[in-house]
Structure 1
């Protein structure tokens, strides 16, 4: 059935009834009368296949029709294989999700988005918990912010019945841009680290100076003892 549908997509040989066509091949293209193109096809033992009927004039190829259909089918199969199947992964929260559960689900969402899947996160309000819908919205907004490097928001939190949904799509593969919040945090950490290093170096220099200062009296005492000893020896000789 598929091959029959594909055959109906193209006009071949005598089905092509325009005055002239553009023949394309490995050596280029040329516009020739349709009758001449049909004669060329018969001489080469192939078919005249119309591959672009909307062009002016229509574009045709000289090729065996069965071979042409096989090439088209193979090309469609390859294109289908290259298409990435995007799945939608769900992440469910309660309006009062604890921090441990939040971090666990955040990690899963990062993995889903990294793999190229979409994420549909929602907060389910059971019974009177609908009173905490603002708290659920804050939770989903935090979730979107924490996933800023992995995905982009397709739909902000929206209440539908007893569920509030947030939709995220994966970002394009490439160099992940850091959020401004993370850049500021890293800059602050770098400054703190530099300040700690400076403090350590200053402390080390101070300790070194103190050790040198403590050693000076000792050196002076040894020098004085040596000097006194020399004078004593000199007096004994005298």
Structure 2
């Protein structure tokens, strides 16, 4: 803490120590400055930015596509893959697509989606329940948060 100095004096002091004069806060009168090594300062800023970026939890959405006439074995594989995605911390969007005249029997599609939902409820929670849009029925499942599993 050197107090209020003229700019030329502060620059001279910084140069005599082989350092740089860095303006920290510019919107106050007089501006707040620091005498630092600018290269080291930038390195520290980059390091802090990298740490905060590493702490961010990125949630991706994986898609599992199924059909209304899916075989039992294929359904089990799709459920196993969806559970793996949920355990990895990703959201899962299950999409059931109809082709041609299959849409006239959309209750079969709802039955398949309800079976999928029942099998997934042990490891996930429903973020978006079963909805139909056009020739697709979909729902979105999310991982059960660690906080809610501790409370229960």
Q: Counterparts in 2 of 1:184-195, with a 5 A limit?
A: none
Change in CA separation of 1:48 and 1:103 when aligned onto 2, cut-off 3 Å: same
Q: By percentage of residues, which structure has more helix?
A: 1
What is the DSSP-based 3-state SS (H/G/I as helix, E as strand, rest coil) of the residue aligned with 2:145?
A: coil
Residues 184-221 of structure 1 show CA distances to partners (whole Å, capped at 9, x for unaligned) of: xxxxxxxxxxxxxxxxxxxxxxxxxxxxxxxxxxxxxx
TM-score, normalisation: structure 1: 0.50
Q: Distance in 2 between matches of 1:43 and 1:159?
A: 72
Q: Distance in 2 between matches of 1:91 and 1:77?
A: 33
By relative contact order (CA 8 Å, sep 6+), the higher-ranking structure is 2
Q: Distance in 2 between matches of 1:97 and 1:90?
A: 16
User: For the Cα contact (< 8 Å) 2:4–2:30, is it kept in 1?
Assistant: no
Tell me the C-alpha RMSD between the 2 structures: 3.4
User: For the Cα contact (< 8 Å) 2:62–2:85, is it kept in 1?
Assistant: yes
TM-score, normalisation: structure 2: 0.71
Number of residue pairs matched?
150
Q: By percentage of residues, which structure has more strand?
A: 2
Question: If you compute each CA radius of gyration, which structure gives the higher value, 1 or 2?
Answer: 1
Q: Counterparts in 2 of 1:212-227, with a 5 A limit?
A: none
Q: Distance in 2 between matches of 1:94 and 1:50?
A: 62
Please list every run of 5 or more consecutive structure 1 residues that lacks an aligned counterpart in the other structure.
1-29, 180-238
User: For the Cα contact (< 8 Å) 1:89–1:118, is it kept in 2?
Assistant: yes
What is the DSSP-based 3-state SS (H/G/I as helix, E as strand, rest coil) of the residue aligned with 1:33?
A: coil
Q: Distance in 2 between matches of 1:52 and 1:105?
A: 56
User: For the Cα contact (< 8 Å) 2:93–2:139, is it kept in 1?
Assistant: yes
Other-structure match for 2:105: 132
